[in-house]
Amino acid sequence: MIVASLLLIAVAIGLLVLGLANGSSGLLVGSIGTSLLAAVALVVGARQATSARAEADLLDIEDERAESDDYEEPRERRGSARGAEPLIEPEPLSQRRQDRNDRAERSDTATVVIPAQGTSAAPEDIDDEEDPPDEPIPQRVQPADAARIARMATDVLVIDGRPRYHVAGCVHLLGRPHEPLPVGEAVELGFTPCGLCEPDSALLADARRV
């Protein structure tokens, strides 16, 4: 686009010279119009170049995070200072599906036990895993909206071994293999919405338009 603007500027100069030499108002008007087109092309080209640089910078940042060995050190040092357990990677998607199927089979044959009066049942299956240090924070969603999202079948994108789900175009997906998954199944498997691309907001907005 910048090359086209330079060519238009050259044409405008040529028309201006001819118009002044011949005293032709038509050539002068054509020179002005060509100059305006050159200015528009120059602005569009500059914006495209800026967008390309911004995208390249994002890719460089993601590559540096993926390749840097020191990126996880702050989280590890804080964990050792508190005496916490080592960082545990989230379960792969295939393992989450298998665990869900196992729980469903156990619930079909399990015996319901009513606790005695004055006692309370303590939760046994608490997910105590920490998110990877470069993982985006989860999107904040109202309980009513979260329940509505859990009933949807629209596909979202997940990264195996990562806890968030995303929509297409999320910068966190750049350079990482991902796969589509119905959002209801993603929620059931324990995935949470990404705080960068905010997939729940996009899904709810699409549902309202329908």
How much is the pLDDT for 39? 74
What's the mean pLDDT in 63-83?
53
Residue 49 has pLDDT above 80, yes or no: no
Segment 129-149 shows an average pLDDT of 91
How confident is the model at residue 67, as a pLDDT?
A: 63
Position 88 scores a pLDDT of 55
Residue 159 in this model has a pLDDT that exceeds 70: yes
Reported as a single tens digit per residue, the pLDDT across 163-188 is: 999 999 999 999 999 999 999 999 99
Q: Indicate whether this model's pTM tops 0.85.
A: no
Sign of the Cα torsion 155, 160, 164, 167 reads negative
Highest mean pLDDT among 6-10, 88-92, 102-106, 187-191: 187-191
pLDDT(111) > 90: no
| pLDDT at residue number 110 | 45
CB 136, CB 165: distance < 8 Å: no
Inter-axis angle of helices 2-22 and 25-67, nearest 10 = 170
Domain layout of the chain by residue ranges: 2-67, 93-105+135-209
When pLDDT is averaged across residues 108-120 and rounded to a whole number, the result is 41
Regarding predicted confidence, which is higher, 184 or 43?
Answer: 184
Instruction: Please determine, for residue 46, whether its predicted confidence score (pLDDT) is greater than 70.
Output: yes
Altogether, the residues listed in the chain come to a count of 210
Q: Give the span between the Cα atoms of 187 and 104, in whole angstroms.
A: 16
User: How far is CA 108 from its chain centroid?
Assistant: 38
Contacts of 97 (CB under 8 A, 6+ apart): 189
